[in-house]
Structure 1
Amino acid sequence: MKCSVKAPAKINLSLDVLDKRSDGYHNVEMIMTMVDLADRIDLTKREDGRISIDVSEGFVPVDERNFAYQAAALLKKRFSVKAGVHIYITKRIPIAAGLAGGSSDAAATLKGLNELWGVGLSVEELATLGAEIGSDVPFCVYGGTALATGRGEIIEPLPAPPPLWVVLAKPPIGVSTAHVYGGLDVNTIQHAKTSEMIDALKRQDGQAICHLLHNVLEGVTLKLHPEVAHIKEQMQRFGADGVLMSGSGPTVFGLIEKESRVNRVYNGLRGFCVDVHAVRLIRLGEACLNTDKDDML
């Protein structure tokens, strides 16, 4: 048996930090949605009980540091699964980009193995399991658009945004999420207008969504990495309707209402940034899962 699962990237339409918890995490309010830039997870059942992993991109670990590997190991141990799996990840989502690529790979692996191994868990049970791997994994299990609270693991589905183009641009740098959170002063930040963003989604008001984009981590990252600020400035100059950094960065995304403007923004950024993608928001819920005894769709 084999199965193939798409693992879409996410962006934050808003990201707010409320306070720091006693466990070291922060309480957050995040509105996240998925875009149609996705990794592909190919899962092949092994009869020897082993978990093995290969990745198309050489900079991604192929051991227990990999979130997909962790997802398989957790599911196997928790439910005493005797079978093993070979995981092959075709990477399209930029690595360490603030787009939840690793978390989405883990979520896709959980959903795929739930079918391949016949574990029979509900989406809610898979999301709860995913929270043990990372804060973004539960959202990636559910997919679509949602409000995430707690440390990110409490998910409330929201209406999908109206049809918008998205241009993603990632500079060739890495950003430490822990360092960014460490540089955040919760007492002085300007908080996101989360409830207003939710209302804009319900009204399908693209202009309001672009206007309300907000990420409290952005100020910290822009100070640490001026190249991120430069990408944001250029994306605005080239005509994106709304521009924001995703997660803790360094990827910046631009929302664009008119398709005629997409190429201008994309080509303008390609002049000085290699890792640029023009994609669409995902309008329908979850990533696609295909299973077949012989091959994959």
Structure 2
Amino acid sequence: MMNDFAETRAFAKVNLTLDVLKKRADGYHELSTVMQTIDLYDELYADFSHEDIAVTADFDLPEGSVAYRAAHEYARRTGCGGAHIKIRAHIPEMAGLGGSSADGAGVLRLMQRRYGAMSGAELYSLAAELGSDVPFLLHGATALCRGRGERIEPLPDINLCYLIVKPAEGISTRQLFSALTPPYGEGRSEQAAAAIRAGDMDALAAAVSNGLAKAAEKELGSIAEIKRRLKSAGALAAEMSGSGSACFGIFETLAQAQRAAETFRDMAFCHACAGIGNTEQM
């Protein structure tokens, strides 16, 4: 007899690099980014004993959220049974850590494990429609992603330890991209990917970058200050993740990241963690 209850973890990500290459005809920006999932996650719980679809959370979840659309679109396209899904959040909002996309990917994993009503290609296509980071976050690990983020090239696992720091203020992704004007600058994603393939930590640290950081720092001055403090605390590299406002520092060990966290008690969010591998079965 099939169990009516299931759960999964929806892991956050960091952008080790984020290159903005050009603005496309469809209004989106062409990106190249190296991402890694990290040991920071929301918890998702599903009850499949219901006939309808419902998604709730311990925070204000809008009806048009990625998680809500993931559940409803999966059911609409497949005609599968129902699910009541509850999200317990730990990933901060408006942080550039992929929280809403991770929740959407987690919902898709739960629905697919229960009903298996989509092919791998169909599931991936739906993920890409839901959001730029959702396809990557279906599986996680480390990857070089291109386009809007939907073209994924897996990279070897590399053991990285992070300190994630976020100020109280967030940044609107839409507003940040709207403020960008060419030229967009040189990208470092290919350099970072090559460093990961070679297992060269020094080269990777030198490649860490974010093409949105300057625009974000103009909007929120604390981002530059957090990056400076991370480097002062011993980070090999420090940068903003995604569209911010969270920043990360890379440390040689988790213990070093945890010690550095003691100097950020004035911040709204601070979390020492490690990068993790494939999240598909979690």
Secondary structure, counterpart of 2:94 in structure 1: coil
Equivalent position to 1:179, from 175, 180, 195: 175
Q: Alpha carbon RMSD of aligned pairs, Å?
A: 1.5
Q: Does 1:105 align with 2:108?
A: no
Query: 1:259 offset after TM fit, Å?
Result: 4.0
Alignment equivalent of 1:52, drawn from 46, 50, 54: 54
CA distance in structure 1 between the partners assigned to 2:241 and 2:235 by the alignment? 15
How many angstroms apart in 1 are the aligned matches of 2:280 and 2:227? 29
Deviation at 1:228, TM superposition (A): 1.4
1:199 maps to which residue?
194
CA–CA distance in structure 2, aligned partners of residues 197 and 148 of structure 1: 12
Aligned residues: 279
Q: Which amino acid aligns with 1:255?
A: I
Q: Trace 1:71-150 onto structure 2 (pairs within 5 A).
A: 71-81=70-80, 83-122=81-120, 124-150=121-147
Quote the residue 2:216 is aligned against: 221
1:279 corresponds, among 270, 273, 282, to 273
Deviation at 1:208, TM superposition (A): 1.6
Could you tell me the TM-score, scaled by structure 2's length?
0.94
Displacement of 1:96 in angstroms is 1.6
2:185 matches 1:190? yes
Deviations for 1:7-47, whole angstroms, at most 9, x for unmatched residues?
10000011001111111101111111100101111111143
Point out 4+ residue stretches in structure 1 off by more than 6 angstroms: none
**Once the 2 structures are TM-superposed, how far is the Cα of residue 120 of structure 1 from its aligned partner?**
4.6
Match of 2:261 among 266, 270, 276: 266
Aligned partners of 2:132 and 2:75: how far apart in 1?
A: 20
Aligned to 2:129, what secondary structure does the other structure show? coil
Given that 1:269 and 1:276 are in contact with CA atoms closer than 8 Å, whether structure 2 keeps it comes out as: yes
Q: Distance in 2 between matches of 1:212 and 1:108?
A: 30
Please state whether the residue corresponding to 2:112 is helix, strand or coil. Answer: helix
Letter in 1 for 2:54: S
- The secondary structure found in structure 1 opposite 2:101 is helix
- The alpha-carbon deviation at position 53 of structure 1 amounts to 2.1
Q: Could you tell me how far apart the structure 2 residues matched to 1:87 and 1:258 are? A: 36
Q: String of CA shifts for 1:222-254, please: whole Å, max 9, x gaps.
A: 111001122111111111111010001000000
* AA in 2 matched with 1:111: R
Aligned to 1:294: none
Q: CA deviation at 1:261?
A: 2.3
The answer to which of 105-114 and 251-260 deviates more is 251-260
The answer for the alignment partner of 1:13 in structure 2 is: 16
TM-score normalized by structure 1?
Answer: 0.90
2-side partners of 1:75 and 1:258: how far apart?
40
Paired amino acid for 1:131? A
User: Please, which of 214, 231, 234 is the counterpart of residue 236 of structure 1?
Assistant: 231
Structure 1 unaligned segments of length 5 or more: list them.
290-297
The answer to whether 1:24 aligns with 2:27 is yes
**1:104 CA drift (Å):** 0.8
Deviation (angstroms), 1:175: 0.6
